[in-house]
Each structure stands twice: as structure tokens, then as C-alpha cells.
Amino acid sequence: MSEKDMLVDNKEYIELLATIKTKVHETQYRVAKNANSELILLYWNIGKVINEKKSWGNKFIDTLAFDIKREFPKIVGFSVRNLKNMAKFASVYPDLEFVQTVSAQISWSHNLELLKIESVEERKWYIEQIKKENWSFRVLQHQIETDVYHRQTQAPKITNFDVTLENPQNTLAQDIIKDPYVFDFVAVRKGALERVIENELVQNVTQFLLELGSGFSFVGQQYPIHVGENDFYLDLLFYHLELRCYVVVELKAVDFKPEFAGKLNFYVNAVDGEMRREGDNPTIGILLCKNKDKLMAEYALKNIHSPIGLAEYSITEVLPDEYVDKLPSVEDIEARLLKDFQATEE
């Protein structure tokens, strides 16, 4: 056996190789991260200079873009449009320290998308979420379009976490609740049954987990739990890695009714009694309904001792088949519009 073959089969060598590969990957990540930070700082400094010379007029940026391109023909990112973006970036973030410690931690495309948001606090929140959850640019766009900031941080939430969970678990649990949840990737017929909606959520589990937020790990759908001599089935069961607890999600295709809270309370207690292990925190229940009456929901939770949160959700509802055939197609509408246009031309 050659010396090379011996090394390939050597356990110590394999571990050494794995260690070196890890170090290389870590260094590549740090280099890429530092490169991004340097690029953001460069753009900020260029934007600052442009803002200081605003008195030179609009042609100044056109000339600058042309000359930079001539000087650095292989470097992209210095178009007239992007130079104007740099100027806006430097204007929105005049504090260099903030740029160095916060904005430089995310990509330029992420930063440009956030410039569309007026609120400084909202931008800061999105930056933290990008860093925490590693949102891509497309994911960030979707989260902004669905207004996740207000749904998760500003919307009044109906929970009993303050009286059923200890600190800091109650605050952490409150933070994971959104209202409403937007399941726009689910398209079902108007009036679809709960199981149909559940199936769509599970089939699109990646998008479902993204909407729920970081930390949720999917355990199962219609998850069986045996209590006494009876079997029960939980709509959706998760384990939250940060909260270190099970989360039972009950989905209702109708408006909230007080008895829904009682049923979920039973399920939460059952999971605590039959599944919760040493080291797990108390199980949490989340009840999702099409609509809810705030006062009715608050009364329903008043004397429930299990931690439960209530929220609304929205989905994409499509027309039943019997109605689809009665509506004009896109082609029919286009043909009618063309006919009307030709009639006016005559």
C-alpha cells in the first residue's frame, strides 16, 4: 500500500483534513464578509462626496459615471443610477459609525431595498432580521411586501403569555406571534375545509416555516397523541428551537369561536403530559382563524392557564369550478378590448 493510500485510510488524517477544510471555509466567509463591508463603506464615502458637490448640478453625476467607467472599465457598480443610490444612502445614513456597525453587515441590494422604508426603526428591525435569519434579497422583498414588521412588532396581539409563562419566555413567545399570518402561497377554493388548507401549508413547508419565523421545526400534521383510552390528532405540531418547547397550531377555516380555545387548551395540556421531556419549556398553543372578535378572544383566554396565542391568517382564495366557466377568460377580455378599440378608430 502506498504512503498516499495509507493517509486516505488514516482516521487522524481524515480528521485533520476536515479541520483544515472548516478553517478554509470560515476564512472564505470572513473574507467575503469583509469585502462586502469595504464595498458598502466605499459606496457611502462616494455618496457623501457627491452630496457635498450637489451645487455642481445634474450633469456632474453623469460626467463622474463616465470617467469612473473609463478609468476602471472592468469594474461594475458605478452607473449613474447607482451613483445616485450612493448619494441617497449617504444622505439617509449620515452617521459613519452606524454604517460601519450596522448597514455594512448586509449586502448593497438589501440596503437599497431598505432605503424605500421611511422609518429608521423599521429599517433597523429589518437589518437585524436579515442578519439573524439570513434572508435573501427576494425573501426580504416578500417580507416587506407583506408588511411583516407591523404584523410582528406593532399589531396588538391576543395572548395570555404574560400570566402563563415566566420571564424571559413570555417575551420571547410574544415576539414569535404575528397577526395576521400571510399564507399567500396557499391557493384554495373559497370555503375550503381546514384539512385542505393544512395540506397546502405542509406541501409548501419551506414557505410555511419562513412565514412562521426562525426557530420553528416541523414535527407533523394531524399528529397523533394518545390520552387515556382515546386518540386525538393535532392539526400541526412544531418544536421551537429557541424557545425549547412544543408549539401546537390549530387551524380553523372559520371565524373564531370561544370553544376553539378550550379545545386547544386540552391539546397543549396533553402534549405537556405525554410528550414534554426534561429540559423542555411549557408547550405553547397558537390558534389561527379567518377572523376574530378581539373582546370575545380576550374573554376566551381569561381563565385558561395554558399559554395560548390567537391570530388571524389570510390565504389566496380562488373561485369554485362552477363559477370559473361563467367568467370571461383573459383572451376573451383582450379580444373585446381590441374590438372596442377598432370600433373607436373607425
Residues 77 and 223 in one domain: no
3-class secondary structure, 153 = helix
Q: How confident is the model at residue 31 (pLDDT cuts 50, 70, 90)?
A: low
Residue 344 C-alpha cell reads as 373607436
- Taking residues 78-87, what's their average pLDDT? 94
Residues 123 and 142 in one domain: yes
Partners of residue 267 on adjacent β-strands: none
Q: What distance in Å separates the CA atoms of residue 230 and residue 228, rounded to the nearest whole number? A: 6
The CATH number given to whatever domain includes residue 161 is 3.40.1350.10
- pLDDT tens digits, residue range 110-133? 999 999 999 999 999 999 999 988
Per-residue pLDDT at 344: 52
Q: Which residue has the higher pLDDT, 302 or 11?
A: 302
- pLDDT tens digits, residue range 138-159? 999 999 999 999 999 998 999 9
Q: DSSP class of residue 72?
A: S
- Checking if the pLDDT of 343 tops 70, the result is no
Looking at 151, 177, 206, which one is the last position of a domain? Answer: 151
Helix (H) / strand (E) element for 284: namely strand 284-289
- Checking if the pLDDT of 345 tops 60, the result is no
Quick one: which of 152, 155, 189 has its CA closest to 173?
A: 152
The answer as to whether 345 is a domain residue is: no
Q: What distance in Å separates the CA atoms of residue 203 and residue 198, rounded to the nearest whole number? A: 9
- Checking if the pLDDT of 1 tops 60, the result is no
Type of residue found at 114: L
Q: Which residue has the higher pLDDT, 57 or 173?
A: 173
Maximum CA pair distance of the chain? 91
Residues 238 and 266 in one domain: yes
The answer as to whether 254 is a domain residue is: yes
> Roughly how many angstroms between the first and final C-alpha of the chain, as a whole number?
91
The answer as to whether 62 is a domain residue is: yes
The answer as to whether 332 is a domain residue is: no
Domain around 197? 153-324
- What are φ and ψ of residue 119, in 5° steps? -70, 125
Per-residue pLDDT at 54: 85
Domain count, the chain: 2
Residues 245 and 173 in one domain: yes
Q: Which parts of 200-321 are beta strand (E)?
A: 216-227, 230-240, 245-251, 284-289, 308-318
The answer as to whether 264 is a domain residue is: yes
Residues 183 and 81 in one domain: no
Per-residue pLDDT at 60: 87
Beta-carbon contacts of residue 196 (< 8 Å; ≥ 6 apart): 188, 189
- pLDDT tens digits, residue range 267-292? 999 999 999 999 999 999 999 999 99
- Taking residues 163-190, what's their average pLDDT? 90
The answer to whether 285 touches 300, Cβ cutoff 8 Å, is no
Residue 184 C-alpha cell reads as 399567500
Partners of residue 246 on adjacent β-strands: 239
The answer as to whether 339 is a domain residue is: no
Residues 101 and 243 in one domain: no
Looking at 151, 185, 208, which one is the last position of a domain? Answer: 151
